[in-house]
Structure 1
Amino acid sequence: MGSSVRVKEAVVVTPSEPTPPCVMLLSPLDSQLFLRFTIEYLLVYRPGPGLDKVATTARLKAALAKALVAYYPLAGRVRPSPNSTGLEVLCRAQGAIFIEAVSDRYTVNEFEKVPKTVLQWRKLLSLSVPDVLNGSPPLILQLTWLSDGGAALGVGINHCICDGIGGAEFLNYVAELASGKRGCPKPKPVWDRHLFNVPPMTRVDSTSHPEFNRVPDLCGFMNRVTNNLRPTCVIFDKRRLIELKGVARRTCQIADSSFTSFEVLAAHVWRSWARAVGFPPNQILKVLFSVNVRNRVKPGLPDGYYGNAIVMACAQASARELGERGIGFGSGLVKKAKERVDSEYVKRVAELVSESRASPDLVGVLILTQWSRMGLDRVELGMEKPVFVGPICNERYCLFVPVKGERDSVKVTVAVPAASFDNYHRFLRE
């Protein structure tokens, strides 16, 4: 069988108006070693009545060019700063990449099923960027027309320039321009990366930040969790989340036993993953999850700030504790980890990554990211809202993604070792 996706056109799209030629400094949070990759989204749309594919493609390209006027760093190129350990963006209106493709195999309904392999949907964003600092474009959009008239939008955004919330704001702006909507004025994109700058030669103790501390590898951890992976996808509806909260309250050992849906679901997934993979009882395990700090730092960040305004919170326990002490125990750990993230915590992270290039060690780690509240499910292209939002490639990093038409439901995607697949689902159902 030939390729399931055929590229019709790949072009460079530059800002539709002149933009400032300059060098823009990125913040210490932007420059973190573990954020030097491309965030890849996949949004799938049902066919609309009388949809004009040629006109829709032209509107999307024109909207991208117009959006790049306000968000002109996304048309630049990220590079190391010659004067520091951080990064900067060379802004010369170099442009983003727009790809139009067609598929003779995929239909919209295809995306209601779990992909068979982690790379099955790779060609829906056919230009992969393994090194975001080698002059590659920081933004790639691929519009693939599906065989039933629907469309898939693959998006790649350099994580050094913006976080998920910032990227979703940009995509919604592009979509509004493409669909011709005229709503309330949006916040002007705000750069202001200096807000996370730290004084030079600061020395900070990293022991209060377990995300940066190494733990002993008792089991060949990376080989165990990265080989022969099989994608999984499980939806937790409102009723199931309420059930999990009840179990967490009954089994927790802290005075304040009120948990959010995120806290109990993060704990449940972390625990189920750990039990399914079968780590040694004394293996220390961590769950790292991103926390939006826009309203946690003092003063708060201005509306429209689209840089990385996230830090990684960390909960940790032994495999034995996770398995034996239950979801209430794990929920308490996640809750405490989240509550530790305040303005001072963010400042210490900025100092650590700036001065010592601190980066999380991946031994014992499950990384969890919440996409379900970023606004990706609102990105319209003149074809109504997407019926599917998820990753291009399903990896071992766990994502909470939105469910079409069910705001209180969460879809959990993560790739687990094939040998752990059945047990992982069994533990999730408990």
Structure 2
Amino acid sequence: MTAMASSAPEVQVKQAVLVTPSDPTPNHLLKLSALDSQLFLRFTIEYLLIYRPLRFNGVDRDDVVGRVKSGLGRALVPYYPLAGRVRVRSDGSCLEVVCRGQGAVFVEATADFTVSDFEKAPSYVTEWRRLLALEVADVLQGAPPLVVQLTWLSDGAAALGVGFSHCICDGIGSVEFLKLFAQLSTGRRNGPTADFKPKPIWQRHLLDKTPFRQQPSQSHHPEFNRVTDHCKFMTRFTADKLTPTSVTFHEWGLNELKHSISPTTQVITSFEVLSAHIWKSWATALNFPPHQSLKLLFSVDIRHRVKPSLPTGYYGNGIVLGCAQTTAGNLTEKGLAYATELIKEAKNRVDNNYVHEVVDSVSLNGASCVPDPVGVLILSQWSRLGLEMVDFGLGRPVHLAPVCTDRYCILLPVDDHSRSMKVMLAVPSVAVDKYLNLLRDI
């Protein structure tokens, strides 16, 4: 055990059980789409929701736990694939879910953390790891695709850690499940789950390979192309060399960034300009060689970019990667407007044809369609998913975070500030001060 791990607040597991669907569900195999089956999506989306201390009288923890477990069992009826198990199809073409009502994992625990511990970044990458104690390394080895952990903190607050297999759902789909799960846990939805909106839609065939289409060129999809490593890029990002950071941008700060590059009528989104500011600050702080090629990868929701649109309630991976690319020299020396325009162009490239090129590429090339990590900063926007609305009868979460803050940048919502965003990213320790100074300099 490392010194950092040994100094972490203690977490004690009280119970760990399988929760199965509360009603009978279909026993069959469900095929996952080509996008679901991508190698780089075979990991777990891990959310951490922190709730304020329960200060009112009459709160019975056992009652809360019972309601949450009951709500989980009920939510697994319409979302029964989350109670299944993922495996590779016998022909090796893609993944599938074996639906036999096997169940999701529920864990109850206690910990020495307090709610104030989550007002800033963790001290090291894995400090909050045990708030989702069952770490699913490989869902294809029979692990459950859904894990829920309710941890009671020492000051009466609560932490809810939730892990979803990314093979089965994306961020939008996972939060749709969480909203129903929360409603069923609080009794705000007492009728049959079949009546709620939106109804979960499987229909993964909608993102299957197009028959008779020629193999697309990857030159139009730089997210899958390798770049030359001029600086031993990945050696900078081992966990012991990283320091987690957390910086909040309120609405006024985002507006300042926008006005600094576009005082006219050009439409620039908060996501575009903040992503550009993060990317530029990160690259400048890390002092890459000017000729090092750098990429910013980010998810683009395709639900309404494909034709026809994906149906409301589709909870599979309705995303592809947007990719902005340039050299470190251009990114650090040119103005913020340059990086913002690269990101805007990367978003605008994603249309119906682009999506189907990606689907066909991953179907035809399989293991070769994996983004190369060299020169890459990956950014994920959680700030518009609705996580801040998920209430299990504990009130709305006061803090939201990834379970582990690592080299992937997460944009998070901020409690009571709907137009603000929190940026969480682990940066090589030797560059963290410079990165924070640049990021905070609006």
Report the aligned-residue RMSD: 1.5
Counterpart amino acid of 1:209? Answer: H
| Counterpart-to-counterpart distance in 2, 1:248 and 1:33 | 38
CA contact (8 A) 2:121 2:424 kept: no
Q: Give matches, 1:384-399, under 5 Å.
A: 384-399=395-410
| Counterpart-to-counterpart distance in 1, 2:206 and 2:87 | 20
Aligned to 1:19: 25
Aligned to 2:106: 98
Aligned to 1:153: 160
Q: Please give the per-residue CA displacement for 1:22-47, whole angstroms capped at 9, x wherever unaligned.
A: 00000001001100001111001012
Structure 2 residue matching 1:415: 3-state secondary structure: strand
Structure 2 residue matching 1:400: 3-state secondary structure: strand
Cα displacement (A) at 1:113: 2.1
Aligned to 2:423: 412
TM-score normalized by the length of structure 2? 0.94
Aligned to 2:117: 110
Aligned to 1:43: 49
CA contact (8 A) 2:9 2:113 kept: no
Aligned to 2:198: 187
Task: Please point out which of 225, 242, 246 is paired with 1:233.
Answer: 246
CA contact (8 A) 1:226 1:396 kept: no
Counterpart amino acid of 1:28? Answer: A
> Structure 1 residue 122 and structure 2 residue 98: aligned?
no
Q: Give matches, 1:320-331, under 5 Å.
A: 320-331=329-340
Query: Which consecutive unaligned segments of at least 5 residues does structure 2 have?
Result: 1-6
Counterpart amino acid of 1:206? Answer: Q
| Counterpart-to-counterpart distance in 1, 2:8 and 2:365 | 48
Counterpart amino acid of 1:366? Answer: L
Counterpart amino acid of 2:356? Answer: K
Task: Please point out which of 228, 246, 259 is paired with 2:268.
Answer: 259
| Counterpart-to-counterpart distance in 1, 2:265 and 2:288 | 30
Cα displacement (A) at 1:187: 1.3
Aligned to 2:227: 215
TM-score normalized by the length of structure 1? 0.96
Aligned to 2:3: none
Cα displacement (A) at 1:2: 8.1
Q: Please give the per-residue CA displacement for 1:320-360, whole angstroms capped at 9, x wherever unaligned.
A: 10111111000000000000011111101101111102111
204-213 vs 81-90, which moves further:
81-90
> Structure 1 residue 370 and structure 2 residue 381: aligned?
yes
Aligned to 1:72: 80
Task: Please point out which of 331, 338, 345 is paired with 1:336.
Answer: 345
Cα displacement (A) at 1:91: 0.4
Structure 1 residue matching 2:380: 3-state secondary structure: strand
> Aligned pair in 2 of structure 1 residues 200, 83: CA closer, same or farther (>3 Å)?
farther
> Structure 1 residue 54 and structure 2 residue 62: aligned?
yes
Counterpart amino acid of 2:73? Answer: A
Aligned to 2:4: none
CA contact (8 A) 1:26 1:88 kept: yes
> Aligned pair in 2 of structure 1 residues 199, 343: CA closer, same or farther (>3 Å)?
closer
CA contact (8 A) 1:47 1:149 kept: yes
Structure 1 residue matching 2:140: 3-state secondary structure: coil
Counterpart amino acid of 1:285? Answer: L
Counterpart amino acid of 1:215? Answer: V
Q: Please give the per-residue CA displacement for 1:178-225, whole angstroms capped at 9, x wherever unaligned.
A: 111149932111000000011357411110001011110000011123
Structure 2 residue matching 1:70: 3-state secondary structure: coil
Aligned to 1:87: 95
| Counterpart-to-counterpart distance in 2, 1:410 and 1:117 | 21
Counterpart amino acid of 2:104? Answer: A
Query: Which consecutive unaligned segments of at least 5 residues does structure 1 have?
Result: none
| Counterpart-to-counterpart distance in 2, 1:107 and 1:225 | 29
Counterpart amino acid of 1:80? Answer: V
Aligned to 2:392: 381
CA contact (8 A) 2:84 2:100 kept: yes
**Percent identity (aligned):** 54
| Counterpart-to-counterpart distance in 2, 1:185 and 1:2 | 41
| Counterpart-to-counterpart distance in 2, 1:119 and 1:290 | 24
| Counterpart-to-counterpart distance in 2, 1:113 and 1:426 | 16
Cα displacement (A) at 1:258: 2.5
Structure 2 residue matching 1:385: 3-state secondary structure: coil
Counterpart amino acid of 2:433? Answer: D
